[in-house]
Amino acid sequence: MGPLDTLDTPCVLVDLDVADANIVRHQAYLTAHGIAARPHIKTHKTVDLARAQMAAGAVGITCQKLGEAEVMADAGFTDILLTYNIVGAPKLARLMALHARIAIAVVADSAAVVDGLAAASRDPARPLTVLVECDTGARRCGVADPGLALALAHRIQAAPGLAFGGLMTYPPNGGTAAVEAFMAEAKALLDAAGLLCPRVTSGGSPDMWRAHEAPVVSEYRAGTYIYNDRSLVERGVCDWADCALTVLATVVSVPAQDRAVIDAGSKVLTTDPMGLTGHGHVLGRPDLAIDRLSEEHGCVQASDGAVRLSVGQRLRIVPNHVCVVSNMVDRVVALRDGAPVGELAIAARGRVT
Amino acid sequence: MGPLDTLDTPCVLVDLDVADANIVRHQAYLTAHGIAARPHIKTHKTVDLARAQMAAGAVGITCQKLGEAEVMADAGFTDILLTYNIVGAPKLARLMALHARIAIAVVADSAAVVDGLAAASRDPARPLTVLVECDTGARRCGVADPGLALALAHRIQAAPGLAFGGLMTYPPNGGTAAVEAFMAEAKALLDAAGLLCPRVTSGGSPDMWRAHEAPVVSEYRAGTYIYNDRSLVERGVCDWADCALTVLATVVSVPAQDRAVIDAGSKVLTTDPMGLTGHGHVLGRPDLAIDRLSEEHGCVQASDGAVRLSVGQRLRIVPNHVCVVSNMVDRVVALRDGAPVGELAIAARGRVT
């Protein structure tokens, strides 16, 4: 019997030794380059791991939704950047409740969002910090050019209950140079206008080792780096041995020589393709591909046509994208020295608002 | 103010009037053709809706995982078909605990699975019912030909604590004729061998209105039909007005004329493509496409290049695949006459084992 043999499957494993090493390594890199670390908790959604990130030297955490920030504030975190446009009365009320308790900063990329925040936060003695989100090429949210960033910074600064907190971007993969170009130009415009820019924050694990190539960036928000995943290995950012999160699955059917079926489907691995073919990497069996998922089944094929698996056998899988896997389960099994030592609650799972 | 304007977003709405009509319509169709209904609860994972399906005339329910069956047994359901190969000691123990409480039947598609069940269930006075899963073309689980089905039925019947319960399949889309061909041949083999085949159960919403074209089928397991979704509308199985589950989202950014960003991403809509382009249908705006999802953002484009949306505006979206959406949230907002009347707990959400 191996140490994982008694676990029921499918289950999500987090090797804490690997996660700790990932945290320490990237923190050391950022520290060496004078960049503040503000890890994104969306990847793990777990209080204990956010604490480990703070203990390693992070200046605070990043959340993507108010519900995540509420969970983390309840757990004692006092410095949170919420990298999301907060829109609508229910969310603005929740944001102000958080603002009354902790240091929370948000972002905005339009006058409409700033005006909503300004209407909700009116106390000049306790202004809400708002950063301007900039689109440095990812084509998601963000103002499209540095001139618009300046205009929005002015609008924030002009609101009595808001304080301009700097510039924020989530760059496209390979976008470090684009970040530097956009942000340096925007910062120069702010400087020329006499507007203090307290920070420039960028993020993303795909280019996490190139953060220093954009010297304008003062803070970095990586999420996936704590676990790593197949998408990062395939990009050459890390190795399989650096992958802290894996899915343990059992073969439940081998209906043909060329096909096996495992009990991990889209309800665990998710269908997030991340630009990859197949739905995860089977550790120790690079000849296998998980080529089809339904909710509770994963269909496995082999490159040479012979899967060589039997019912009851177990596979350990590195998912394409770990962040979305964390959100599929209420808890994960924590490993030390390769053996289960308990469970971690995914406290912020499913917080979509 | 409309009746949905006070809801925070993203949120999942279930129009109970539409769901009730969907339940009644398909039940009436099956009843008219003498086919028993055993709806699959994986779509809604919700006790109240399973009760509505039973009240409409279902003979029992279908679950895909033991955890779902446990939730439903706890809620008082006493006749459950678990259409999954149960493998491994932890699951066999849980299965036997359920077997002691309710009428539960499972499936098997290999000698290995049958032998595991036979080792766990040894009481001839209370045999566990096991159906043989047949692959009628979906190439997932299931024995590959009718002869193998007969052999496995013999193996089940030979085990003192098991009872052969019939034949089960989950067919490929458009596979009704293939179901009839495989199952009729298998049943003829069973008849010739003197093995009673208590039922032949098929399923799937894509071909739910063609169930009668496979007269060998005595029981039908539809899941998605209670809500319907974009995949079924695109296949011509139903209309948009028959879609009971929708996702309400808010526009949080309009960074360019040709792009808007909504607060529903893969954490609500999921990336399940279902063979479709885009990630859902925006009701009332057929010109819009949700062309990219990240976890908390959906990027919206328009066919003519102009999205004509503003921050704060709300969209109602029919997802590509509803079953996976139910699994992303702890509760849904129930509507009657188009207005919220409460919430339904997704009691079996996240039961992956």
With an 8 Å Cβ cutoff, is A353 touching chain B? yes
- What is the Cα–Cα distance from B114 to A269, expressed in whole angstroms? 27
> Residue by residue, what is the 3-state secondary structure of chain B?
CCCCCCCCCCEEEEEHHHHHHHHHHHHHHHHHCCCEECCECCCCCCHHHHHHHHHCCCCCEEECCHHHHHHHHHCCCCEEEEEEECCCHHHHHHHHHHHHHCEEEEEECCHHHHHHHHHHCCCCCCCEEEEEEECCCCCCCCECCHHHHHHHHHHHHHCCCEEEEEEEECCCCCCHHHHHHHHHHHHHHHHHCCCCCCCEEEECCCCHHHHHHCCCCCEEECCHHHCCCHHHHHCCCCCHHHCCEEEEEEEEEEEECCEEEECCCCCCCCCCCCCCCCCCEECCCCCEEEEEECCCCEEEEECCCCCCCCCCCEEEEECCCHHHHHCCCCEEEEEECCEEEEEEECCCCCCCC
- What is the Cα–Cα distance from A290 to A106, expressed in whole angstroms? 39
With an 8 Å Cβ cutoff, is B97 touching chain A? no
Q: Which amino acid is at A57?
A: G
Quote the pLDDT of residue A343.
98
Residue from the list B255, B264, B292 with its beta carbon closest to the beta carbon of A142: B255
Pairing of strands A162-169, A200-203: parallel
With an 8 Å Cβ cutoff, is A327 touching chain B? yes
**Region class of A306: left (phi > 0), else alpha (psi between -120 and 50), else beta:** beta
The pLDDT of B241-268, averaged and rounded, is 98
Whether residues A64 and A210 fall in one domain: yes
Among chain B residues, CA nearest to A350: B329
Does A73 map to a domain?
yes
Q: What is the largest CA-CA distance in chain B?
A: 71
Whether residues B261 and B139 fall in one domain: no
Subunit contact A144:B255, Cβ cutoff 8 A: yes
All residues of chain A having their beta carbon less than 8 Å from the beta carbon of residue B251 are: 87
Does B98 map to a domain?
yes
For an interface test with A, the pick among B44, B267, B294 (most A C-beta atoms closer than 10 Å) comes out as B267
C-alpha to C-alpha distances, A172 to A203, A204, A205, B1, nearest whole angstrom: 10, 8, 11, 39
All residues of chain B having their beta carbon less than 8 Å from the beta carbon of residue A353 are: 8-11, 263
Whether residues A164 and A237 fall in one domain: no
Subunit contact A88:B259, Cβ cutoff 8 A: no
Task: Provide the shortest C-alpha distance from residue A215 to chain B (in Å).
Answer: 26
Using CB atoms and an 8 Å cut-off, which of residues 70-89 of chain A contact chain B?
84-85, 87-88
- Using one digit for the tens of pLDDT, what is the confidence trace for B69-103? 999 999 999 999 999 999 999 999 999 999 999 99
Does B156 map to a domain?
yes
- The token duo for B18 is 């539409």
Find the CATH number of the domain harbouring B263.
2.40.37.20
pLDDT > 90? residue B1? no
With an 8 Å Cβ cutoff, is B343 touching chain A? no
- What is the Cα–Cα distance from B69 to A335, expressed in whole angstroms? 29
Among chain B residues, CA nearest to A43: B295
Task: Provide the shortest C-alpha distance from residue B66 to chain A (in Å).
Answer: 11
All residues of chain B having their beta carbon less than 8 Å from the beta carbon of residue A65 are: 296
CB burial class (10 A; 0-12, 13-18, 19+) of residue A125?
exposed
- Using one digit for the tens of pLDDT, what is the confidence trace for A162-184? 999 999 999 999 999 999 999 99
C-alpha to C-alpha distances, A308 to A251, A258, A296, A313, B136, nearest whole angstrom: 11, 8, 21, 10, 23
Task: Provide the shortest C-alpha distance from residue B18 to chain A (in Å).
Answer: 24
Whether residues A141 and A193 fall in one domain: yes
Last residue of a domain, one of B196, B228, B260: B228
All residues of chain A having their beta carbon less than 8 Å from the beta carbon of residue B10 are: 352-353
All residues of chain A having their beta carbon less than 8 Å from the beta carbon of residue B307 are: none
Does B23 map to a domain?
no
Whether residues B309 and B273 fall in one domain: yes
Whether residues A276 and A311 fall in one domain: yes
- What is the Cα–Cα distance from B133 to B149, expressed in whole angstroms? 8
- What is the Cα–Cα distance from A117 to A108, expressed in whole angstroms? 9
Task: Provide the shortest C-alpha distance from residue A348 to chain B (in Å).
Answer: 12
Among chain A residues, CA nearest to B8: A90
Last residue of a domain, one of A204, A227, A250: A227
With an 8 Å Cβ cutoff, is A42 touching chain B? yes
With an 8 Å Cβ cutoff, is A270 touching chain B? yes
Among chain B residues, CA nearest to A93: B8
Does A209 map to a domain?
yes
Structural domain total, chain A: 2
Whether residues A218 and A303 fall in one domain: no
Rg over alpha carbons for chain B, rounded to the nearest Å, is: 22
Q: What is the pTM of this model?
A: 0.97
The pLDDT of B25-29, averaged and rounded, is 98
**CB-CB neighbours of A243 under 10 Å:** 25
Q: Which residues contact B220 (CB under 8 A, 6 or more apart)?
A: B30, B35, B36, B37, B38, B201, B202, B203, B208, B211
- Using one digit for the tens of pLDDT, what is the confidence trace for A26-82? 999 999 999 999 999 999 999 999 999 999 999 999 999 999 999 999 999 999 999
For an interface test with B, the pick among A62, A95, A170, A295 (most B C-beta atoms closer than 10 Å) comes out as A295
Among chain B residues, CA nearest to A8: B90
Last residue of a domain, one of B193, B228, B263: B228
All residues of chain A having their beta carbon less than 8 Å from the beta carbon of residue B253 are: 85, 109-110, 113, 140-142
Quote the pLDDT of residue B16.
98
Domain residues for the domain of B69 are: 33-228
Whether residues B172 and B106 fall in one domain: yes
Whether residues A163 and A38 fall in one domain: yes
- What is the Cα–Cα distance from B81 to B89, expressed in whole angstroms? 20
Residue from the list A10, A42, A295 with its beta carbon closest to the beta carbon of B323: A295
Whether residues B200 and B317 fall in one domain: no
CB distance B348 to B259 below 8 Å: no
With an 8 Å Cβ cutoff, is B323 touching chain A? yes
Quote the pLDDT of residue A1.
79
- Using one digit for the tens of pLDDT, what is the confidence trace for B156-209? 999 999 999 999 999 999 999 999 999 999 999 999 999 999 999 999 999 999
Find the CATH number of the domain harbouring A69.
3.20.20.10
C-alpha to C-alpha distances, B52 to A344, B27, B29, B60, nearest whole angstrom: 36, 11, 17, 12
Stretches in chain A below the pLDDT threshold 50: none
Residue from the list A254, A299, A353 with its beta carbon closest to the beta carbon of B140: A299
Whether residues A178 and A71 fall in one domain: yes
Whether residues A108 and A63 fall in one domain: yes
Subunit contact B141:A324, Cβ cutoff 8 A: no
Q: What is the largest CA-CA distance in chain A?
A: 71
The pLDDT of B308-334, averaged and rounded, is 98
Among chain A residues, CA nearest to B94: A8
Does A18 map to a domain?
no
Does A2 map to a domain?
no
All residues of chain A having their beta carbon less than 8 Å from the beta carbon of residue B328 are: 327, 350, 352
Q: Mean pLDDT across chain B, nearest whole number?
A: 98
Does A20 map to a domain?
no
